[in-house]
Amino acid sequence: MKRKLIALPFLFFALLFANSCGEEKVQSKNMEQLYNEEGVPVKIKEITKDSFSKELNYNTILTGIKESAASAMIGGRIEKVLVNVGDYVNKDQVIFTFPSDAPSAQFDQAKVAFENSKNMYERYQKLFDVGGISAQDLDNVKTQYEVNKANFETASKMVKVLAPISGFVTKVNVRESDDVKKETLLATIADLSQLKGSIQISESDISDVIKGTKAIAEWQGIAVEGKVTQVDLAMNPMTQAFNADVVFDNKNQKLKAGVTADITLVGTNLNEVVILERKDIVFNGSQPFIFAVNNGVAKKKQVKIGKNNGLTVEILEGIELGDQIVTEGIINLEDNSKVKIIK
The contacts found for 46-49 with CB under 8 angstroms, 24 or more apart, are: 46/322, 46/323, 46/324, 47/274, 47/319, 47/320, 47/321, 47/322, 47/323, 47/324, 47/325, 48/274, 48/321, 49/272, 49/273, 49/274, 49/321
Q: How far apart are CA 29 and CA 343, in angstroms?
A: 26
Q: How far apart are CA 212 and CA 115, in angstroms?
A: 55
CATH domain 37-52+270-343 topology: 2.40.420
Tell me the average pLDDT of the chain: 86
- When pLDDT is cut at 50, 70 and 90, the band that residue 15 belongs to is very low
pLDDT single digits (tens) 266-296? 876 777 888 898 899 998 888 999 999 999 9
Lowest mean pLDDT among 7-11, 79-83, 293-297, 336-340: 7-11
Judge whether residue 14 has pLDDT over 50.
Answer: no
Is 253 in contact with 286 (CB distance < 8 Å)? Answer: no
pLDDT of residue 307: 80
Reference 340, options 44, 38, 45; nearest CA is 38
**Dihedral angle over CA of 319, 321, 323, 325, nearest 10:** 70
CATH code for residues 56-64+190-269 = 2.40.30.170
Strand-pair partners of 314 = 275
- Mean pLDDT for 151-157 is 81
pLDDT of residue 203: 93
CATH domain 67-187 topology: OB fold (Dihydrolipoamide Acetyltransferase, E2P) (2.40.50)
Q: How far is CA 198 from the centre of its chain?
A: 5
φ, ψ (nearest 5 deg) of residue 226:
-165, -155
Q: How far apart are CA 148 and CA 133, in angstroms?
A: 22
CA angle 154, 75, 67 (to 5 degrees): 70
- When pLDDT is cut at 50, 70 and 90, the band that residue 6 belongs to is very low
Judge whether residue 2 has pLDDT over 50.
Answer: no
Judge whether residue 12 has pLDDT over 50.
Answer: no
pLDDT single digits (tens) 285-326? 889 999 999 999 999 999 998 887 767 888 999 998 999 999
pLDDT of residue 253: 86
- Mean pLDDT for 164-181 is 94
Judge whether residue 208 has pLDDT over 90.
Answer: no
- Half-sphere exposure (Cβ direction) of 251: Cα atoms closer than 13 Å: 2
pLDDT of residue 244: 97
pLDDT single digits (tens) 37-72? 788 999 999 998 888 777 889 999 999 999 999 999
pLDDT of residue 4: 43
- Mean pLDDT for 223-252 is 95
Q: What is the pTM of this model?
A: 0.58
- Mean pLDDT for 168-192 is 94
Judge whether residue 8 has pLDDT over 50.
Answer: no
Of 57 and 9, more confident? 57
Of 109 and 18, more confident? 109
CA-to-CA separations, 173 to 99, 142, 169, 170, 286, in angstroms, rounded: 19, 41, 11, 10, 57
Query: Residue ranges of the domains in the chain?
Result: 37-52+270-343, 56-64+190-269, 67-187
pLDDT of residue 23: 47
- Mean pLDDT for 182-188 is 94
Is 200 in contact with 243 (CB distance < 8 Å)? Answer: yes
- When pLDDT is cut at 50, 70 and 90, the band that residue 3 belongs to is very low
Judge whether residue 29 has pLDDT over 90.
Answer: no
CA angle 154, 160, 165 (to 5 degrees): 90
Is 342 in contact with 43 (CB distance < 8 Å)? Answer: yes
